[in-house]
């Protein structure tokens, strides 16, 4: 039995090491399915989340370089005159997602990161074209990641309405960004379609 147990524990240790737990999310998002399978970039990315009630959240994803968080929140603080304290600025690193207008940012960052999940966040205002606050967030993120590749992830709930998505896109467009990644879950390629034939023919790059 010993070799058998050895293998079992080897597999066990592999799975323990290979597993990455999902970070806590402010809201549960049911992403729609898509047939294209590309890996989700985890570094140098900002994620814009749209939940089922059309609220918009902004998340910075930079595990390697934590200074980006400071750069972004400092930029927001200065440009919007929010008057955040150093403690509140430091708290931004722990904050998983920002889903409040600038006016509510001080309160959100003043709350302990663990308690933030309980706060009801109204979402970043985007639908008003004159006060699309997401534009400023993206602007600061772009400045913080200057010279590096920054991915724009849009994670939308399937039930959210199109105008919010359009407003998010227009915020990105205002910052001269035209390439985005939509976060989706994986769907099977329908049998018999052209894409299916190409995949069956062994083509690797199905995008083009």
Partner 1 sequence: MASIEEGGDSGHKKGPGVKKAKKLSTRVDMTPMVDLGFLLITFFVFTATMSTPTTLDLNMPKDVKDVKEQTEVKESSVLSLMLGKNDIIYYYEGKLLEDGSNFKTTTFKGVRDLIINKKKEVISRYVRDPECEAKAKSEGKPISNCADKDFVVIIKPSPEATYKNTVDILDEMTINQVRTYAMVKIFDQEFELIKVTEGATPANK
Residues near partner 1 (CB under 8 A) are 1, 5, 8-9, 11-12, 15-16, 18-19, 21-22, 31-41, 50, 153-154, 156-166, 169, 172-173, 178-187, 189-190, 193-196, 198, 206-207
Beta carbon of residue 156, minimum distance to partner 1 (angstroms, whole number): 4
Beta carbon of residue 149, minimum distance to partner 1 (angstroms, whole number): 14
Q: How far is Cα 144 from Cα 159, in angstroms, rounded to an integer?
A: 32
> Looking at beta carbons only, is 38 or 131 nearer to partner 1?
38
> Looking at beta carbons only, is 88 or 157 nearer to partner 1?
157
Q: In this structure, are residues 72 and 140 in contact, taking their beta carbons and an 8 Å threshold? A: yes
Beta carbon of residue 204, minimum distance to partner 1 (angstroms, whole number): 14
> Looking at beta carbons only, is 50 or 108 nearer to partner 1?
50
Backbone angles phi, psi at 54, to 5 degrees: 65, 25
Beta carbon of residue 54, minimum distance to partner 1 (angstroms, whole number): 9
> Looking at beta carbons only, is 132 or 184 nearer to partner 1?
184
CA atoms lying within 13 Å on the CB side of residue 33: 6
Backbone angles phi, psi at 58, to 5 degrees: -125, 130
| Cα distance from N-terminal residue to C-terminal residue, the chain | 52
Backbone angles phi, psi at 195, to 5 degrees: -65, -35
Beta carbon of residue 85, minimum distance to partner 1 (angstroms, whole number): 35
Backbone angles phi, psi at 46, to 5 degrees: -115, 140
């Amino acid at each position: 039995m010993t070799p058998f147990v050895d293998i079992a524990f080897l597999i066990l240790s592999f799975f323990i090491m290979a597993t990455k737990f999902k970070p806590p999310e402010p809201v549960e998002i049911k992403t729609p399915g898509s047939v294209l399978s590309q890996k989700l970039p985890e570094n140098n990315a900002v994620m814009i989340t749209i939940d089922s009630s059309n609220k918009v959240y902004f998340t910075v994803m930079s595990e390697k370089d934590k200074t980006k968080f400071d750069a972004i929140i400092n930029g927001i603080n200065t440009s919007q005159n929010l008057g955040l304290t150093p403690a509140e600025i430091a708290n931004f690193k722990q904050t998983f997602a920002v889903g409040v207008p600038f006016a509510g940012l001080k309160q959100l960052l003043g709350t302990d990161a663990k308690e933030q999940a309980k706060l009801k966040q109204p979402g970043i205002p985007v639908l008003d074209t004159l006060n699309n606050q997401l534009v400023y967030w993206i602007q600061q993120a772009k400045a913080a990641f200057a010279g590096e590749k920054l991915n724009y992830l849009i994670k939308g709930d399937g039930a959210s309405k199109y105008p919010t998505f359009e407003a998010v896109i227009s915020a990105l467009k205002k910052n001269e960004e035209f390439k985005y990644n939509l976060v989706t879950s994986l769907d099977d390629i329908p049998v018999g379609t052209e894409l299916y034939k190409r995949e069956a023919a062994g083509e690797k790059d199905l995008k083009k």
